[in-house]
């Protein structure tokens, strides 16, 4: 049996592509390959040229600057979505940030400012994006974000970002409950450690990455492409019965307590 995903006639907004290594880009590549029309938002003008390079020669794409923590930017972004598409079938949230100081020291020393920044950027922006998108979402629409297993178990130095991911996972369930009656699904993908710009800002990420590789029962790391494929499942009709879930794509790294050999 051959199953192919056809998203022609569907529309998507992908928030948080910084470069070709971004997990948001791995998801966007799957959406584009399936024939979806995709709009992209980027945080600041510094990131525009990288995104433009990725999109050279692609049809049906557009970009807009939007800091996800700015109400003004979010209003302008979703006004653009309405103008470009009229409606929205797919929303991808691939955004996270915590001040470096909050990830260098002890968790107990987290300042209120750093806590507020991390949770605002990494968790609240999903709620804000869902609220702005809601009037444009049709029955069958689907929202996906990215989380990490540090929400469930202590990962050294992940600190306040782990709390933000726990909030994101809980927010996913509450958003799924609010939007479910309209036929809109909300899920989050828990990705294994992958070498991206955001990951490089985590102190000791190299050790974390190596340990994940040793623990993974598939004997290798999961790949961004595999994140993209799980997202395609969740964002298409294949995932039509799945909502409110945290789904792992980490080659089994999170199910072990130590390397198997
Ligand atoms: P990335 O650096 O490529 O993407 C992070 C994006 O967040 C960037 O595009 C950045 O501009 C954007 N961003 C940060 N603050 C923003 C703001 N205020 N407004 C708008 N955009 C903002 O790194 P990535 O690893 O692809 O991260 C994407 C998601 O995947 C994040 O939620 C991250 O926590 C998650 N994740 C990553 C890994 C990993 O190992 N790389 C593992 C699990 C989950």
- How does pLDDT run across 163-175, given as a tens digit for each residue? 999 999 999 999 9
- How does pLDDT run across 108-140, given as a tens digit for each residue? 999 999 999 999 999 999 999 999 999 999 999
Q: Is 254 exposed, middle or buried (0-12, 13-18, 19+ CB in 10 A)?
A: middle
Reading the block at residue 110, the tokens are 């987290």
Answer whether 148 contacts ligand 1 (Cβ < 6 A).
yes
Ligand 1 mean position, distance from CA 126 (Å): 12
pLDDT at 151: 98
pLDDT at 3: 78
Q: 158 an active-site residue? A: yes
Q: Is 23 exposed, middle or buried (0-12, 13-18, 19+ CB in 10 A)?
A: buried
Answer whether 18 contacts ligand 1 (Cβ < 6 A).
yes
pLDDT at 16: 98
Taking the model in full, what pTM does it have?
0.98
Nearest ligand 1 atom to alpha carbon 19: 3
- Looking at the chain, the number of H-run helices and the number of E-run strands are 10, 7
Ligand 1 mean position, distance from CA 15 (Å): 9
C-alpha span between 11 and 127 (Å, rounded): 20
In tens digits, what is the pLDDT along the chain, a chain of 261 residues? 677 899 999 999 999 999 999 999 999 999 999 999 999 999 999 999 999 999 999 988 999 999 999 999 999 999 999 999 999 999 999 999 999 999 999 999 999 999 999 999 999 999 999 999 999 999 999 999 999 999 999 999 999 999 999 999 999 999 999 999 999 999 999 999 999 999 988 888 999 999 999 999 999 999 999 999 999 999 999 999 999 999 999 999 999 999 987
Q: 148 an active-site residue? A: yes
Answer whether 69 contacts ligand 1 (Cβ < 6 A).
yes
Runs of H (alpha helix) within the chain: 23-33, 48-55, 71-85, 101-104, 112-119, 125-133, 159-179, 197-200, 205-215, 224-235
Nearest CA to 167 out of 253, 230, 98 is that of 98
- Cβ burial 152-183 (10 Å sphere, 16+ → b, else e): eeebebbbbbbbbbbbbbebbeebbeebeeee
How high does pLDDT run on average in the chain? Answer: 97
Residue with CA at minimum distance from ligand 1 atom 30: 146
Residue with CA at minimum distance from ligand 1 atom 35: 146
Best residue among 198, 209, 250 to mutate for probing ligand 1, ranked by most atoms within 8 Å of CB: 198
Answer whether 246 contacts ligand 1 (Cβ < 6 A).
no
Ligand 1 mean position, distance from CA 106 (Å): 22
Domains of the chain by start residue, with CATH: 11-252 (3.40.50.720)
Ligand 1 mean position, distance from CA 261 (Å): 32
pLDDT at 59: 87
- What is each CA distance from 127 to 7, 62, 67, 211, in whole angstroms? 25, 23, 14, 32
Coil, strand or helix at 12: strand
Compute the 3-state secondary structure of the chain and give helix, strand, coil in percent, each to the nearest 5: 50, 15, 35
- How does pLDDT run across 7-27, given as a tens digit for each residue? 999 999 999 999 999 999 999
| Cβ(10)–Cβ(241) below 8 Å | no
C-alpha span between 26 and 76 (Å, rounded): 25
pLDDT at 200: 87
């Amino acid at each position: 049996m051959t199953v192919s995903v056809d998203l022609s006639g569907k529309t998507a907004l992908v928030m948080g592509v910084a470069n070709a290594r971004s997990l948001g880009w791995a998801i966007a590549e799957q959406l584009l390959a399936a024939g979806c029309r995709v709009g992209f938002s980027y945080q600041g003008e510094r990131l525009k040229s990288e995104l433009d390079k990725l999109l050279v020669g692609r049809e049906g794409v557009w970009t807009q600057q939007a800091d996800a923590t700015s109400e003004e930017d979010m209003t302008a972004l979703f006004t653009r979505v309405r103008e470009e598409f009229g409606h929205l079938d797919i929303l991808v949230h691939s955004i996270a940030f915590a001040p470096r100081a909050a990830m260098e020291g002890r968790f107990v020393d987290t300042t209120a400012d750093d806590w507020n920044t991390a949770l605002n950027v990494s968790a609240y922006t999903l709620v804000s994006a869902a609220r702005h998108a809601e009037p444009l979402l049709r029955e069958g629409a689907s929202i996906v974000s990215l989380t990490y297993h540090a929400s469930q178990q202590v990962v050294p130095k992940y600190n306040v970002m782990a709390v933000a991911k726990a909030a994101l996972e809980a927010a996913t369930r509450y958003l799924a409950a609010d939007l479910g009656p309209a036929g809109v699904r909300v899920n989050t993908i828990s990705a294994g450690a992958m070498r991206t710009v955001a990951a490089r800002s985590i102190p000791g990420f190299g050790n974390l990455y190596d340990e994940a590789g040793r623990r993974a029962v598939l004997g290798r790391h999961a790949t961004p492409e595999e994140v993209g494929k799980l997202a395609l499942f969740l964002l298409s009709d294949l995932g039509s019965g799945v909502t409110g879930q945290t789904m792992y794509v980490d080659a089994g790294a999170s199910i072990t307590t130590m390397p198997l050999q």
